[in-house]
Chains A and B, each alone.
Chain A
Amino acid sequence: MLAYTFRRFMSMLFTLFIIATLTFFLVHALPGGPYKNPEKLTPEIKQLFDRKYGLDKPVAVQYVMYLKNLFQGNLGYSFKYENQTVEEIIARSFPVSAQIGLQALLVGLPVGLLFGILAALNRARVLDYGLVFLAVLGVSIPSFVLAGFLQYIFGVKLRVLPVALWGGFEYSILPTLSLAVGVVALVTRLMRTSMLDVLGADFLRTAVAKGLSRRTVIWRHALRNALLPIVTIFGVLVVDLITGSIIIEQIFSVPGIGQHYVTSINNNDYTLVMGLTIFYSLLFVLAIFLTDIAYGLVDPRIRIVGRKE
């Protein structure tokens, strides 16, 4: 188990390294440089800027500096928001995005699991068909469509919830819902398939033949095995939440990192773009890493084999 963890960790670091490098070179290759209107700048001001951001050095040196800074958690100064480091910006806005994401998971996971189990237990009956359809629908509705729809119903017509900006808890409700639907849909489908697989397994028959009650068989034998594959989609969920949050924050004008990402792109704020890209990748790769570890812990087959290594 320890060896397995270690290998996954090294793999994660390696991937991050490659991503950081690629991002660096890509952003530095972007046409136009970081200045929106370079003609308007006098040579002296340009020089000052260059010096401050290290742009006067050759690319290779910049790269090394970049890596060094990265290692120290130093992501540089934002071009647009002068005197603010990228880390500061992230620290300020990440909690907002995290709150929405976590809420979406907290709502979506249990509901999805429940739906998936219900669908599998009632296979080929109306409840199953209905839930499956809802799940496919949930996957097919783009989050921005859902968001707009919710804004219209709750904000314009019913006027009960705020549709934009950030304040108290109620401001997070609609954004959370918009993301949660996608989570529910994904988890429902996976749980249903997993549960159906387990329900057809031989060892369930053994359990019934022992005289255990149907409820015991489902709870103790079926569920535990059916939940295993769910652990694996944690990484996918995080990706969807990240991607979704970028758009959702735009629509709801929520001051999270997604919104900053969009504005930094439109402002050619390269340090911010780079920093956020790496941050996103870090989140994602970390999620995958944690998923692998969790799977190793939960599935005794991997756990024990790992120990023997």
Chain B
Amino acid sequence: MERRKGANDQEGEKKKGLFVKKKALFLFFFLPLIGIVLLFFVLSTVNRSYIKTKVEDLVKEQLRSTAEILKTNISHYLSENYQADEIFELYSGEENIYYMALLDDEKNILGWKSQFEGYLPLSRKTLIEKESWVIDSPVGKIYNFFSSFTAPDNKTYHIYLGYSLVNLEEMMAYSKRNFIILFSVIAGIGIVFFLGIYRIQAYYMKKEKETEKEKREKERFREISAFTSGIAHEIKNPLNSLSLLLELLQKKSPGELRKDVTQGRTEVQKISRIIDLFSAALKPMNLQKEKFVLKDLIEDIFESLRRKGFSMSVDLQYSEDKEVILHADKGLMSQVFLNLLKNSLEATEKGAVRVHAKDHRKKVTITITDSGKGMSDEEKMHIFEPFSSHKKQGMGVGLYLAKKIIEAHQGRISFDSHIGQGTSFSIQITGG
């Protein structure tokens, strides 16, 4: 119980460590992205603000100049005894001038004109404070300008103008829209780019961890293999001696003991077989590759199984799209197919076990399908584990060995099984 708790704690710590690393990795990629986006935002905002101020200043300067020209013109018309209303009529085509007014030296309105009914936002309170100011209106911002001038008759007049800043606003809105689009595009590309790099990095880190774990497991397995092989070897010698002794005893023992001695010898031979299988399972693969025709190998195995009485009520069938040649260890591959076919035949009471092979660009896929009882979820979970047989007879190393052999050939083995519908094993291996 304590040990389990300790193991859980250790796993928790490990997970926590992994999470921290992941978080650090994420921040490592995410923070620069935020930094770049923020930097772009700040620079763009400062830049836009600067340009806006400059453009506004330019526009105001231009409007001031226009007002100066207007003042000169009005002064000229006044000297020719034009009335204020008559002068404003001359400027009726100026769309950008929303309103204008002429005031005397005491700031009494002499005449005015507006594009909007009764709209002349002139307040004496404002006049005291400044020469120009901007007001908001439903038709956009309006630049207000109030300035005095002296006419040729030496009288002082004031002119009040309201210019439309719609063009400036449109330009600013256009600039803002472009900024938002550009910012969104850069942020979007940045996010995709950094997330892509982050995911690639995370993938390689995960792979590295898996490789490291696999390496450690292989090392451990090698140590255990060496240790257990040694034990198996040490057991095998006394067992052989014991078997010989029992054989001698069997010959010399009286009739009433012979049956027991024979049984004892059978059991010793059984132990010997188990040790042989065990040793075979642990022995490192030493592949003797050669080219051979798959169909010939499968047909030989079919024949062998038929001879052993495996295929009494089940039909064995082989098919292929074209002739398949393998470049592999024929003996080991024979063991793989024999194990798989034996399993299929044992699981199938009647029907057929089909082997189909196809070769696509030197990638050979061999499928062994039976119409047997299928496997439960529990069986599926432990199918390739050694010594985990659900059959009455058998050691449970057949599929373990099959997987080991296929993987030694850089191939893959997988399966698909449904209760009551049968099982299908699929082997992918390089062709010859």
User: Do A and B share a complex?
Assistant: no
